[in-house]
Amino acid sequence: MSAQICKVLLVESDEWNARLVQEALSELLERQEALPVRQSFPLDHAACLEEGLQLLIGERYDVVLLNPMLSDSLGLESFFALHSQAPGIPVIILSERKDELLAASAVREGAVDYLLIEEVDCLILARRIRHAVQQHQLLATLREHAFFDPATGLLSRLGFLTLAAHHVTLAGRLNARIRLLVAKAENPHPFADAFERQVKDMALMDAAENLRRAFPEPDLAARLSGNCFAVLKWVWDRSGNAEADTAKMLGALAAADQPIFTRTGAAELEGGEGTDIASLVESAEKRLCENRRKDLQFAV
């Protein structure tokens, strides 16, 4: 059976690091029995950002391996330049341990994953590349098969659970925190005629657009049900709290032309915990119900 081909662009100014990656991918040809499927990884190497950008113009790649500390560009600017030229290609950050915070920041800005140079070996590299490509293909599949809510353009519940599962796994690897927020309409009016239904649809569209602006990628925004929205947010600032994010979500929803969302709930996951995304959603929705009961008690 022929091997699957995954074409890789390596953008790396350090010759030793580049040779390490090249040798790791070459070793895979001799260790195909250790892979779930037979794969080959033809590699092009760019020694600077400008060369990498030129290769992206003339060639098609399945994944980019990028060390953002380049001879002609440093830090996140390297990632931004590559990502803006080829937004449809997943990027894995290669980083030395001393630059790990930079790598994590790139993931925050949209890179799929990162790998420490000190940890590179053939099987780890193959697994990270495969997962990055699969994640990219998954997102394309979600869009193609309407796992996005047609009324708002946000992820549907199924799409959200599918894509958020990857975020939970990545949070564990990065030892990062992710926070789930949910907001639900209370006592929505029974829209009786076509005009009122149109008003409701416009309100949902406004709310969705406000959420996208308030919580841009890599955060996820979804419409879990007819009157329930959710946000999965990366928490990079350890001093950040759920109350501030809840207020931000409510502010975004209240800015809609017809604000209708009044109840919220939140749940949080610390990297390394064994909670799955479905349990996290269940916990947030439970807290939403608890908040609703408290509000009703105060109203009595």
User: Degrees (nearest 5) of the Cα angle 252, 169, 130?
Assistant: 115
Q: Label residue 7 by pLDDT band (50, 70, 90).
A: very high
SS3 call for 254: helix
pLDDT of residue 265: 62
Give the dihedral sign, CA 90/12/169/99: negative
164 has a pLDDT exceeding 50: yes
User: In angstroms, what is the C-alpha Rg of the chain?
Assistant: 22
Domain with CATH 3.30.70.270 in the chain: 146-299
Q: What is the mean pLDDT of residues 135-146?
A: 69
Helices and strands in the chain, H and E counts: 9, 11
Write down the CATH number for the domain with range 4-143: 3.40.50.2300
Q: Whole-prediction pTM value? A: 0.60
Q: Which CATH number fits domain 146-299: 3.40.710.10, 3.90.1530.10, 3.40.47.10, 3.30.70.270?
A: 3.30.70.270
Cβ pair 93, 79 in contact under 8 A: yes
pLDDT digits (tens, 9 = 90+) for 37-46: 567 889 999 9
Long-range contact list for 159-164, CB < 8 A, 24+ apart? 159/222, 160/220, 160/222, 160/224, 160/230, 160/232, 161/277, 161/278, 161/281, 162/138, 163/138, 163/139, 163/220, 164/220, 164/232, 164/277, 164/280
188 has a pLDDT exceeding 90: no
Cα atoms in the Cβ-side hemisphere of radius 13 Å centred on 77? 9
15 has a pLDDT exceeding 90: yes
In 10 A of CB 206, how many CB atoms?
A: 18
Q: Label residue 1 by pLDDT band (50, 70, 90).
A: very low
pLDDT of residue 70: 95
63 versus 225: the higher-pLDDT residue is 63
pLDDT of residue 92: 94
Q: What is the mean pLDDT of residues 3-12?
A: 88
CA distance 244 to 17: 42
User: Which residue type, as a one-letter code, is found at position 122?
Assistant: C
240 has a pLDDT exceeding 90: no
14 versus 161: the higher-pLDDT residue is 14
Q: What is the mean pLDDT of residues 266-294?
A: 70
Cβ pair 73, 11 in contact under 8 A: no
Q: Label residue 55 by pLDDT band (50, 70, 90).
A: very high
pLDDT of residue 32: 62
298 versus 214: the higher-pLDDT residue is 214
Highest-scoring range by mean pLDDT, 98-112, 166-180, 232-246, 251-265 = 98-112
Highest-scoring range by mean pLDDT, 90-104, 198-212, 249-263, 285-299 = 90-104
SS3 call for 236: coil
Q: Label residue 187 by pLDDT band (50, 70, 90).
A: very low
CA distance 234 to 179: 6
Q: What is the mean pLDDT of residues 252-264?
A: 60
Of residues 84, 118, 114, the one with CA closest to residue 102: 114
Domain with CATH 3.40.50.2300 in the chain: 4-143
pLDDT of residue 218: 80
Q: Output the average pLDDT for the chain.
A: 79
